[in-house]
Chain A
Amino acid sequence: MHNGEIVLELKGITKRFPGIVANDQISLQLRKGEIHALLGENGAGKSTLMNIVFGLYQPDEGIIELNGQPIVMDGPNKAIECGIGMVHQHFKLVPPFTVTENIILGMEPKRGFGTDLKGAASRIAELSKQYGLNVNPEAKIESISIGMQQRVEIMKTLYRGAEIIIFDEPTAVLTPQEITELLQIMKRLVDEGKSILLITHKLKEIMDVADRCTIIRRGKMIETVTVADTNQETLAEKMVGHRVQFKTDKRPANPQDSLLDIANLVVTAENGQRAVDGISLSIRAGEVVGIAGVDGNGQTELIEAITGMRPIESGTIRLEGRDVKHGSPRTASEAGISYIPQDRHKHGLVLDFDVSENAVLKSYYEERFNHKGLLDRQAIEEVAERHVEQFDIRTPGIHTPVRSMSGGNQQKLIIAREIAKEPKLLIAAQPTRGLDVGAIEFVHKQLIAERDKGKAVLLVSFELDEIINVSDRILVMFNGRFVGETTPETTSDQELGLLMAGKHQGGDRG
């Protein structure tokens, strides 16, 4: 497989944006039938490079060769014509349409005056079988899982005859099971003769599926390595430019009095079902409690109840003995609860606000920023400057809209804001979702630093590594209940995996 002919070659690609060189003389060769990973931190220039390949940007210098022939990619249509397909990180699907309708969108097969939906559906079913995608052509997008939606995106590229498929951070939105399945699909695709460019910053995935890996750092190409000859540590070091610790250093916890006490909590989800089904939980000051579990087992509802974003059915939530159950998000926040939300774009930030406006999203009304309704710009800017400095947020300035910042820097801003509030309880939901190793290390260190300052920390994550790495105590949530309690020292991935799948450990605890 490693000696396949070169299907796509980039030679000395350079792309400049005002103020930065996003890609600086990058060269890369993709062979037929290989999975070639493109590794780099957030903002290293991976996406820019792939957008150049896909014709969304024009390079300032350098050439693209397809099967040995130089080619000008002047738009996505040209790329598709050349047999290049892209699976974007954020799916481009129409939710109320069926799988078939989404796939043929833009190139509907005609039959008379109508659209040949039937023919398209059978073609899709055929492709689905060939590549083991298991996609139902009749299903509506809004009714299928995220993992399945991604397969529809893959199918879209195949339907359009792609030979080269670019995956842009494909696992960022997936659950662990879906990741495993996706990696299998990718292997199947290359077995069938396709070639894959995989953009990622997850080392594990590269080790699992990639044949070769090209590393870029701050727009510059570092090198291309054969994955079989390397290991995660080396890759990480090349990516960030210094040694990376995967295990976060932490001293043993020194837990104090109980800070958060939840008793018999019941919370209902939108669909009327009991998402949290009679849970009891206490967290002490100075400890990190990790809640492991597969997405959709009530973790979100539990957190929303604690943070006042969702009403509770019955039960009590006490912070330092005081009841917070009838709270709103603001009363919860004022009671000393900080919350790093799971979805930073939906909840954590107002993307069109600039850094300074986002920095005070929860505190703008306080006296230090608000004088009888008039916002004190200077005070707000000072706080924003301090956040940027203390948390090493890389941004052109505090008046840059956060929309244009990388995910890691957006997350740093949220963490800065939540920690600066000096909370008693810090809740972090999926705090490293979509971040690269450098940023993950940073986030984990911050969580543990808060613990060491005597705060209670509640971490919810679908990533076992993260749970084991950061927590002092681990609870496993399944179907709205805790099905097991353990500690990182005494558990294993296997045990947690079984618990997450609902295999009881013996009696509810928590």
Chain B
Amino acid sequence: MNKLKALFAGESVKISLLSIVLGLLIGAIVMIAGGYNPLLAYQSMLEKIFGNAYDMGEALRAIVPLIFTGLAVAIAFRAGMFNIGVDGQIVMGSLGALMVGNMISMPPIIHAIVAIIAGTLLGGLWGALVGVLKTKRGINEVISCIMLNWTALYLSHMVIKAFMAEEGTSRSQSIQESASIQINWLSGLLDGARIHWGFALAVVALIAYHFYMNRTKWGYEIRAVGNNNHAAKYAGMNVSQVVIRTFFLSGMLGGMVGTFEVLGVFKYMAIASATSGLGFDGIAVALLGMNGALGILLAAALFGSLMYGAQGMSFGANVPGEVIKMVISIIIFFAAAPGMIRWLLNKTKRSKQANREG
């Protein structure tokens, strides 16, 4: 309990909370300037999120991938690296799950499990590739990540067109029902919201992440490399191996998002002109969540419901959904540049002091 108190008294938490408040506030100002009613807008956003069982379920569905991509980015951050290739790893995860789900026949449950494993592994290997290029060839991970995102996208198009094309559409064939991970009875309860086993795995992943980073030898190595790779090398750690392993894990988390989108939500893969962008949202989640499990959960919940609720804003208050993108951007902006908020905090502290003394 004391720990919890200390956590919320901490400066970084204050910064995150204030960033959120400022984001919503500035969003409101922009809406007023544009002639919209911000109160109505935020109200219809909340109604969209909490209005009925279906929407609540679908909002949850929007949160789950952000938890995974947030974790994927965070684990790389902890090792001092920037994984902006989560989008590509998601595509590879989807592809792996789709191939197993569509092309191979297996009994239910087993089929789903094999498909999840296939997608997760493929995502992980795609991530590990970045680590290998970085350690063996000295290629900056940001460059290879961006290129591999596109490589993954077009590779998926090729594979789909070659083996699983659905004639007359720009998407793949669907997976077999035996590979579905949708929880039908729960979806039924929530008026058809697409609820799947990824929810349960998200909770497991959060706990596992916290445990892995703080209690295991491997997490210790990741943190040592991320904080001071010179000292890690001096201490005898195999820094290259840690880098590759971290990218493998990061890619696996990304790959899981892809598997759940295919097996639990859409049941097929679209031949899209760009990647989903979920990996980039993960950067925002990790940043606001300060790379901690609890922080990531809260940040993913916030961003996921904001994004989902944005649809309600255009419907209920006629406000374009882009406003919410702006609000999110402002939140990230303040969270990433804490100097400004620190300045604000100091200012209020000083004036409070002055009031007391005067």
The interface of chain A, by Cβ under 8 A from chain B, is 309, 328-330, 332-333, 339, 341, 346-353, 357, 361-362, 364-365, 370, 373-375, 377
Contact = CB atoms under 8 A, between A and B. Distances in A.
A398 to B, nearest CB: 16
Interface size of B as a range:
10 to 19
Interface string B21-40: 00000000000000000000
B356 interface: no
B236 A374 contact: no
Given A332-B236, A339-B234, A347-B230, 14 more contacts: A309-B234, A328-B236, A329-B233, A347-B234, A350-B227, A350-B231, A350-B232, A361-B224, A361-B231, A364-B220, A365-B217, A373-B218, A374-B215, A375-B217
A346 B217 contact: no
B236 A330 contact: yes
A364 B217 CA distance: 7
Task: In the A-B complex, list the 10 residue pairs whose CB atoms are closest, starting with the nearest.
Answer: A330-B236, A347-B234, A329-B236, A361-B235, A350-B228, A350-B227, A352-B227, A346-B230, A370-B217, A362-B235
B355 interface: no
Contacts of A351: 227-228
Q: What's the dominant secondary structure at chain B's contact region?
A: helix
A309 B234 CA distance: 7
Contacts of A352: 227-228
B216 interface: yes
B223 interface: yes
Contacts of A330: 236-238
A420 to B, nearest CB: 14
Contacts of B235: 329, 361-362
9 contacts: A329-B236, A346-B231, A349-B228, A350-B224, A350-B227, A350-B231, A362-B235, A365-B217, A370-B217
Contacts of A332: 236
B169 to A, nearest CB: 47
A374 B220 CA distance: 10
A374 B213 CA distance: 11
A374 B215 CA distance: 6
A350 to B, nearest CB: 5
Contacts of B224: 350, 353, 361
A116 to B, nearest CB: 29
Contacts of B227: 350-353
Nearest to B224: A350
Given A330-B236, A333-B236, A353-B223, A347 B231 contact: yes
A261 to B, nearest CB: 23
Contacts of A357: 220
Nearest to A357: B220
Contacts of B236: 328-330, 332-333, 362
B330 to A, nearest CB: 29
A233 B234 CA distance: 38
B142 to A, nearest CB: 21
Nearest to B232: A350
Contacts of A329: 233-236
Contacts of B234: 309, 329, 339, 341, 347-348
Scoring A332, A341, A364, A370 by chain B CB atoms within 10 A of each residue's CB, the highest score goes to: A364
Contacts of A346: 228, 230-231
Interface string B216-258: 1110100110011011111111100000000000000000000
A403 to B, nearest CB: 10
A400 to B, nearest CB: 15
A28 B238 CA distance: 52
Contacts of A377: 215
Contacts of A309: 233-234
Contacts of A374: 215-217
B349 to A, nearest CB: 12
A347 B215 CA distance: 23
Nearest to B211: A374
A373 B245 CA distance: 14
